[in-house]
Amino acid sequence: MQTDVVDHSAHLAQLRSSYDALAPVWAEATDHNLWNEGLDRKPIRSLLPLPLEGLEVLDVGCAAGTIAADVMDRGAQVTGLDLSPAMVETARRRCEGRGRFLVADLTEPLPLPDATFDGIIASLVLHYIHDWSVPLASFARVLRPGGWVVFSTDHPDSPFARSHRTNYFATELIKDRWTKSGVTIDVSFWRRPLMAMVDAFADAGFVLERLLEPRVSDQDRAEYPDETADLPDVPFRVVLRFRKPDLTSPIA
């Protein structure tokens, strides 16, 4: 589908409705699975600068609060954002009074003060947005100098993306249907080339530090035999860490 015929307001409204419907089952369905834990959260954790104790971390697209709870267990203070009010309430209940959770639309400037956070985690959320300029400008504004962003998305050359795209170098809307613990939703997101992802962050002033292309490991195959039985040895996600330069630090 060409992006110039997409009704972005309708897209976000459907996204909010879909995740509201998934909120009651999201933790049950995704806390210990291949796609969210093995291929996403585990690689994200491997790129988090340590230690996290005492840091202020923004969890963008916090969903049911899985990452937020883990980061707080490591000593960080967390603010979580999600488009879905039901997901925000689920995250609040899960974290039992720890952290702060807000409903927020990433296509609008974030209602957060400047230079507040040491790091940002954005797990499988930016691909729901066509134009990254607004969210990445918000990220750069709310991060302190030297702050980091660890973000993940579907790999642009994964088997699913390859079967749905018309041109690797285009930014294209892809549609899918998910069933999680008996709840079925229609979802759509933008697949873009890796070059476009890096360029968008660079345009916002970030510097790339690390890039992972998570694939199914031997440990994943042992832990999730049913989910991995027919999966090839190819990347399914891409996880990147960017840094906001500290222009106040002296050059060595």
2-19 tens-digit pLDDT: 444 678 889 999 999 999
- Give the distance, in angstroms, between the CA of residue 35 and the centroid of all CA atoms in the same chain: 13
Model confidence, pTM: 0.95
Structure tokens at 32: 């210990």
In tens, the pLDDT along 229-251 reads: 999 999 999 999 999 999 876 65
Give the architecture (CATH level 2) of 3-243: 3-Layer(aba) Sandwich (3.40)
Written as tens digits, the pLDDT of the chain (252 aa) is 344 467 888 999 999 999 999 999 999 999 999 999 999 999 999 999 999 999 999 999 999 999 999 999 999 999 999 999 999 999 999 999 999 999 999 999 999 999 999 999 999 999 999 999 999 999 999 999 999 999 999 999 999 999 999 999 999 999 999 999 999 999 999 999 999 999 999 999 999 999 999 999 999 999 999 999 999 999 999 999 999 999 876 654
The letter for the amino acid at 230 is D
For 145, the 3-state DSSP assignment is strand
Taking the C-alpha atoms of residue 194 and residue 157, their distance in angstroms, rounded to an integer, is: 9
Domain spans of the chain, in order of start: 3-243
Sign of CA dihedral 175, 178, 184, 190: negative
Cα gap 14→203, rounded to integer Å: 29
- Could you tell me the CA-to-CA distances from 13 to 45, 90, 199, 213 in Å, in that order? 30, 19, 28, 31
